[in-house]
Amino acid sequence: MEEIERFRLSTRVLHWAIVIFTCLLGASGLCIYISQIGGWVGQGGYVGYIHRVCAILFVLSAVIYLVTNFKSSIKFLKEAFVWGLSDLGWALAAPDYYFGGDPEKMPPQEHINTGQKLYWLAVIIGVVVFLVTGILMWAFRDIVSESVFMWSLLIHDVAFIGAMVMVALHLYLGSIHPVMTESLKSMVTGKASIEYCEHHHGRWLRHELKKKESES
Amino acid sequence: MTEKALLIDVSKCTGCRACQVACKEWNGLPAVETTCTGTYENPPDLSPDTWNKIKFTEIGSTSDGTMRWLFRSERCLHCTDASCVEVCPTGAVYHHELGFVAYDRTKCTGCGYCTQYCPFNIPQLSGNKLTGMQKMDKCTFCLDRVANGLEPACSKACPTGAISFGNRGDLILKGSSRVNDLKSNGYSNAYLYGEHELGGLHTMYVLDEKPEVYGLPADPQYVPGYEVVRQDILKPLGWALIAAAAGGFALNFLVSRSRMVKAGKKEEE
């Protein structure tokens, strides 16, 4: 079966690095959030240390990617904020499509579809919220007023609940949902079959094939 | 069990700091090197190695025009409505059955919420701020002594009887009668601090001036509804959302799978 590259190696490395740091951040955060785990794991005070180190590595990996892949990063970042009529087409077709309806009714999608774009936007907003509130509680603890600290903590918690649900959704759609047969595979190997891309990222595929033709 | 408490009569305190030293001695806390800032108050603040210290206050213009030098042993007030207990996420800070606020250092993750919300700024974090590998320390009410039938080190050491240890109810009576004595002796602002504050403190003060003069908030506030929101609304909401998501995914999987199988069969036909 003919395949086409979906994600470059650097993109995949970033994705899986983010996966590891997100899991560690979530787990160490839960230790402070849930008393039963916290009392047990809290010994030694390593939990906060792991949380901080992972936050730094998370940001660092994103920054390294941004610097080394500047052009495509900016393009990808912009993608989250450009919305049009085609997104409405996705939204109208999505309920049926994601409940096993006829895939032909879904309008052809870009490199990432509208749903993935929504997730991407949520990730950007989430990271900013986590970072701002986290840094306030970490570096500026002695400077900010009690109410700023209180709100930071509350917002950090709300963001965590939101992120937990979004990550669960991402995990389900990416690797379990019966329609998404090659989503996980493409993030591991970098490639997906032409057939899969036709169904899932039609507009992008046409564009890519044209580019290849003109190159050869 | 009968609640225990400490009653600190500042009108009997001479600022000798025997309690400060006894606290360090009994709890094995090292001395802190400081620089002279023109006051006998030393060290300047509570720290992970200083759980009890005398706060020195000079007031120059009393009603009769004389100068006064005030002393108050500053340490954990062991509140009944204790913010630190409420906000501690791991249950490391807890109410002891004798009424005071104890803590289990091994359970402390160093999050420092207790240091943020204490209305008296008592809990102190030691360790590295940058790494977050910290631990909280504060007055333990000499848990080890009290649990074995001894009085705390500070009250044992006090030479003037300014610090007394006993059943909280008895100490309230003792404190009230002392306040009345002070009032009849011209200290019109005399007040028993801690009888009602924050549900009742387990370190109470007989004050001969207003609380603010001694650096105590006149109306200390318990942590606002924030923690209630976190514990009683946010946490269940989080779990409910995750459960709903898991259920939704399972339903979605079954529905879409069966519809796809059906559609596949039709195509074959």
Give B-chain residues touching A138 at CB under 8 angstroms.
Answer: 132
Query: Is residue B61 predicted with pLDDT exceeding 70?
Result: no
Asked if the C-beta of A180 comes within 8 angstroms of chain B's C-beta atoms, the answer is no
CB A177 within 8 A of CB B253: yes
- Give the closest of A52, A101, A178 to B131, CB-based: A52
- Give the closest of B107, B130, B246 to A39, CB-based: B107
Q: Between B222 and B162, where is the model more confident?
A: B162
At residue B141, the 3 state secondary structure works out as coil
pLDDT given at position B65: 74
Query: Is residue B229 predicted with pLDDT exceeding 90?
Result: no
Tokens of A122: 């949520």
Looking at the fold, whether B189 and B254 belong to one and the same domain comes out as no
Chain B nearest CA to A5, separation (Å) = 27
Q: Is A45 within 8 Å of B229 when comparing Cβ atoms?
A: no
- Residue range(s) defining the domain that contains residue A87: 3-215
At residue A69, the 3 state secondary structure works out as coil
Looking at the fold, whether B33 and B91 belong to one and the same domain comes out as yes
Tell me the residue type at B206: V
- Give the closest of B90, B130, B245 to A42, CB-based: B90
Looking at the fold, whether B66 and B189 belong to one and the same domain comes out as yes
- Report the C-alpha gap between B121 and B114 in whole angstroms: 9
Q: What is the dihedral of CA A104, A108, A114, A116, to 10 degrees?
A: 90
Asked if the C-beta of A178 comes within 8 angstroms of chain B's C-beta atoms, the answer is yes
Q: How many domains does chain B have?
A: 2
Tokens of B190: 């005399």
- Report the C-alpha gap between B81 and B83 in whole angstroms: 6
What does pTM read for this prediction? Answer: 0.86
Looking at the fold, whether B179 and B85 belong to one and the same domain comes out as yes
- Report the C-alpha gap between B48 and B137 in whole angstroms: 5
Looking at the fold, whether B199 and B269 belong to one and the same domain comes out as no
- Report the C-alpha gap between A97 and A92 in whole angstroms: 9
CB burial class (10 A; 0-12, 13-18, 19+) of residue A21? Answer: buried
Tell me the residue type at A76: F
pLDDT given at position A128: 97
- Residue range(s) defining the domain that contains residue B248: 225-269
Between positions 20 and 59 of A, the ones with CB within 8 A of B are 31-35, 38-39, 41-49, 51-52
Q: How many domains does chain A have?
A: 1
A26 Cβ contact partners less than 8 Å away, ≥ 6 residues apart? A160, A163, A164, A167
Residue B166's pLDDT band, with cuts at 50, 70 and 90, is very high
Give A-chain residues touching B263 at CB under 8 angstroms.
Answer: 100, 102
Beta bridge partners of B53: B74
CB B211 within 8 A of CB B191: yes
Looking at the fold, whether B196 and B130 belong to one and the same domain comes out as yes
- Report the C-alpha gap between B191 and B182 in whole angstroms: 9
pLDDT given at position A59: 97
Looking at the fold, whether B69 and B113 belong to one and the same domain comes out as yes
Q: Is A154 within 8 Å of B252 when comparing Cβ atoms?
A: no
Looking at the fold, whether B103 and B81 belong to one and the same domain comes out as yes
Looking at the fold, whether B162 and B234 belong to one and the same domain comes out as no
Q: Is B252 within 8 Å of A177 when comparing Cβ atoms?
A: yes
Q: Is A51 within 8 Å of B135 when comparing Cβ atoms?
A: no
- Report the C-alpha gap between B249 and B258 in whole angstroms: 14
Q: Is B242 within 8 Å of A51 when comparing Cβ atoms?
A: no
Looking at the fold, whether B256 and B123 belong to one and the same domain comes out as no
Digit-by-digit pLDDT tens for chain A (216 residues) are 789 999 999 999 999 999 999 999 999 888 877 777 766 666 667 888 899 999 999 999 999 999 999 998 999 899 899 998 889 999 999 999 999 888 888 988 988 899 999 999 999 999 999 999 999 999 898 888 888 998 999 999 999 999 999 999 999 999 999 888 899 999 999 999 999 998 899 889 998 999 888 887
Looking at the fold, whether B148 and B217 belong to one and the same domain comes out as yes
Give the Å distances, CA to CA, from B152 to B10, B17, B156, B173, B178. 18, 15, 6, 20, 22
pLDDT digits (tens, 9 = 90+) for B82-103: 999 988 888 899 999 999 999 9
Tell me the residue type at A56: I
Residue B62's pLDDT band, with cuts at 50, 70 and 90, is low
- Give the closest of A98, A153, A161 to B256, CB-based: A98
- Report the C-alpha gap between B216 and B117 in whole angstroms: 15
**What percent of chain B is modeled with pLDDT above 90?**
71
Asked if the C-beta of A157 comes within 8 angstroms of chain B's C-beta atoms, the answer is yes
Looking at the fold, whether B166 and B195 belong to one and the same domain comes out as yes
Beta strands in B130-187 (DSSP E): 133-137, 163-167
Query: Is residue B184 predicted with pLDDT exceeding 80?
Result: yes
Q: What is the CATH number of the domain that holds A23?
A: 1.20.950.20
